[in-house]
Structure 1
Amino acid sequence: MNYSESLAYLYSRLPVFHRIGAKALKPGLANIERLSAALGNPHQLFRSIHVAGTNGKGSTSHMLASIYQSAGYRVGLYTSPHLKSFTERIRLNGTPIAEADVAEFVTTYQSLIEAVEPSFFEVTVAMAFDYFARQQVDLAVIEVGLGGRLDSTNIITPELSVITNISFDHQDVLGDTLPQIAGEKAGIIKPGVPVVISETQAETKSVFQTVADQQQARITFADQVYTVVDDGLVDGVRQVRVTSVTGQADAFVLDLTGPYQVRNLPGVLGTVDQLQTQWPVGRDAVAAGLAAVVKQTGLQGRFQRLNERPIVLADTAHNQAGIQAVLTAVDSIPHRTVHLVIGMVADKDRSAVLRLLPSSARYYFCQAQTPRSLPADVLQREAAELGLAGEAFIDVNEALDAAIRTATTDDLILITGSNYIIAELTDKI
């Protein structure tokens, strides 16, 4: 099989979460363990950092990868979902896995895949681990797909675990309360392996502390160690000052410009500091990595500015906490009127998100071309019940074009609501 045939085979043969949602999940680690055993347990052949959380785990993973790359290490990075190309999920020093390598893996292990009958995600995890082992990475940064305890990535024993932020998302799988969700995320905490918590949250702190104590894992609440002061955007990048409880002070530039990245930074810095013995990193490399995350890792769709007049921003926020963070960020940018291009998947808590949206904005409701997507006219109708008026479009690009035609140069256009909406922006992302 060539690359296109391999992807077509995986998509047609296996349950895919981004198409059918929770029905694609196969609870437990049995499938990934069978796949890994047949591959020679590649996850045991490289060292890693494991990153979980509701919001911020993707940005945190990319920031860590960029920092270690700047320090001269050979860095594997596994994240999901992808925006444009499947190959984005598996990177080596920022370069996506070659299409030929994807095709070779699927062709070589087709009979294994058919014998195990894994999910799409389980196959991608096995592929990533096999690739990192064969490429002999110095370290791999592994982002959890969903939850933690039962996530396929959780067969690794990392050098350190990171948990970013806990908020409501995937309640049908992870639980209806923040402590329940935190309990699932805490499932990545391994015996004797240190864990860094990026944000101290009253509802979840005791959950993490309890699990860490049970696992005899040293736990650090990073925002109690590092104080971050946001000095805002200067020349298109975010300026921050960081002070640690040890008295060390640093100034950094972030090319991930969303102000919510300030909440991820303590966890990133805490991870780097705690792993100095395993992977020494100088402050210059930290600064260089944070300033070039997009360039070095290919991360897109995080408060990404696509145009200046009018300002056009794209952000993959897709749950209540994420949308709130993005709206707060928008408020910090001078503008006249907000034009909001939004689409969502059908299995999200839409009412909670819609209630956050400003009634003063102009709306352009759209849908992604995936079975999970909520029809634009349904979103339009539900929004109208809350006083949010706008047109419906079957495609995000049509919606954006309409917003651009309507907006003045002093306005701001925000595109958000779903990874899949941002992924379908044509020639813009």
Structure 2
Amino acid sequence: MQYQEALDYLYSRLPVFHRIGPIALKPGLDNTLRLCEALGNPQHQFRSIHVAGTNGKGSTSHMLAAIYQSAGYRVGLYTSPHLKSFTERIRLDGQPIAEDEVALFVTTHQSLIESIEPSFFEVTVAMAFDYFARQQPDVAIIEVGLGGRLDSTNVITPLASVITNIGLDHTDILGDTLPKIAREKAGITKAGIPLIIGETQSETTPVFTEIANQLKAPIVFADQLYTVADAGLSDGVRNIRVQSGDGETLSYTLDLTGGYQLLNVATALATVQALQSILPVSTESIQTGLQAVVPLTGLNGRFQTLHQQPRVIVDTAHNKPGLEALFTTIQSIPFASLRLVIGLVADKDRTAVLLSLPESAIYYFCQADSPRSLPAATLQAEAASLGRMGTTYPDVNRALAAALQQATPDDLILVTGSNYHIAELIKL
């Protein structure tokens, strides 16, 4: 098979979450373990860091990759979903896996895939682990897909387990309270392996502490170790001051400019500190990595500016806590009018999401070319019932074009919501 044939085969044959939602999930780790066993158990053949969380796990994973790359390590990175190309999911030193590697894996293991009948995600995890086992990075950063306990990535024994935060998302799968969701995500905790929690939350701290104690896993809360303060934006980067528990204060610059990234910085720093004896990193390498996360790792869609006058920002926030954090940053930016280009998936708690959006914005409702995407007209009607008024467009590019045409140079256009319509942006 050629690359496109291999992708078409996977998409047509296997259930894909980003196309059909939760029914694509295959409960348990059996399929992943069977795939890995047939591949020689690659998950045990490279060192890893496992990253879970409701929001921020992607940004934290990319920060860690950038820091370790800057320190001279060879770094693997597995994330999901992709925005533009499937190959974005599997990277080595920031470079996506070659299309030929994807085609070869699918061609070589087609009979295995057909005998096990895994999900699309289970195959991509096995592909990533096989690739890293052969490439032998010094460390691979592995982002959880959904949840933790039953996520396909949870067959590794990492150097550290990281959980950024807990919010109400995927409640139909993970539970309808923060403690229930925390328990699912804490399922990545391993006996004796350091557990780094990004945010101290009163409802979830007892869950994490209980599980860490049961497994004798050293636990730290990043926001108790580091205080990260915003020192303002300049020249397209965010300046931050980091104070550690011993009173030392250091200044860094971060090319991920969303204000919500400050907590992710603390999580990344706490992880680096926990592994300092295994993977030593200098202060200089941390600074180099944080100021160049995007070019070092290829991260897109995190408070990314696409255009000036009017300023166009794209951000993949798609749940209530993520959007609330995003709009906290938006409030710090001067603008005449806010124009919001948004699309959502149909299987989300849309009322909570819509109520987190400002009533004063001018809305451009759109939809992605995906069976999961909520029709723009339905989104418009639901938003209107909550006082968010706007016009519908068949896709994100036409919605953005209309916003640009109607905006003044001092307006702010924000493209957010579902990853899937953001992925269709031509200029991303």
* TM bracket, shorter-chain basis: over 0.9
- Percent identical pairs in the alignment equals 67
1:18-417 alignment, distance < 5 Å? 18-417=18-417
State the distance in 2 between where 1:261 and 1:51 align.
15
State the distance in 1 between where 2:308 and 2:201 align.
36
1:389 Cα deviation after fit: 1.1
State the distance in 2 between where 1:282 and 1:207 align.
33
What is the SS of the residue equivalent to 2:84? coil
1:327 Cα deviation after fit: 1.1
> Once structures 1 and 2 are overlaid, which stretch shifts more, 224-233 or 4-13?
224-233
1:121-177 deviation digits (Å, cap 9, x = unpaired): 000000000000100111000000000000000000000011001101101100000
State the distance in 1 between where 2:359 and 2:72 align.
49
1:329 Cα deviation after fit: 1.0
Question: What's the Cα RMSD here?
Answer: 0.6
Corresponding letter in the other structure for 2:168: F
1:63-114 deviation digits (Å, cap 9, x = unpaired): 0000000001110000000000000000000000000000000000000000
What is the SS of the residue equivalent to 1:333? coil
State the distance in 1 between where 2:214 and 2:35 align.
29
Corresponding letter in the other structure for 1:334: P
1:248 Cα deviation after fit: 2.2
1:191-210 deviation digits (Å, cap 9, x = unpaired): 00010001101110101000
State the distance in 1 between where 2:422 and 2:254 align.
22
State the distance in 2 between where 1:274 and 1:178 align.
26
1:422 Cα deviation after fit: 1.0
Corresponding letter in the other structure for 2:50: H
The residue aligned with 1:419 is 419
1:21-58 deviation digits (Å, cap 9, x = unpaired): 00000000000000000000001000000000000000
> Once structures 1 and 2 are overlaid, which stretch shifts more, 224-233 or 373-382?
224-233
State the distance in 2 between where 1:162 and 1:115 align.
34
State the distance in 2 between where 1:279 and 1:228 align.
23
What is the SS of the residue equivalent to 1:54? coil
Q: TM-score, normalised by structure 2?
A: 0.99
State the distance in 2 between where 1:389 and 1:50 align.
41
State the distance in 1 between where 2:387 and 2:122 align.
42
State the distance in 1 between where 2:254 and 2:71 align.
17
Query: Structure 2, unaligned stretches of length 5 or more?
Result: none
The residue aligned with 1:4 is 4
State the distance in 2 between where 1:356 and 1:16 align.
29
Give aligned pairs, total.
428
State the distance in 1 between where 2:209 and 2:375 align.
42
State the distance in 2 between where 1:199 and 1:108 align.
43
Structure 1 residue ranges, 4+ long, deviating more than 3 angstroms after superposition: none
What is the SS of the residue equivalent to 2:132? helix
1:247 Cα deviation after fit: 2.3
1:215-253 deviation digits (Å, cap 9, x = unpaired): 100000110111111112111100000011122221110
What is the SS of the residue equivalent to 1:154? coil
1:356 Cα deviation after fit: 1.6
State the distance in 2 between where 1:44 and 1:386 align.
50
State the distance in 2 between where 1:209 and 1:266 align.
19
What is the SS of the residue equivalent to 1:209? helix
State the distance in 2 between where 1:389 and 1:148 align.
37
State the distance in 2 between where 1:9 and 1:171 align.
31
Corresponding letter in the other structure for 1:42: P
1:276 Cα deviation after fit: 1.0
Q: TM-score, normalised by structure 1?
A: 0.99
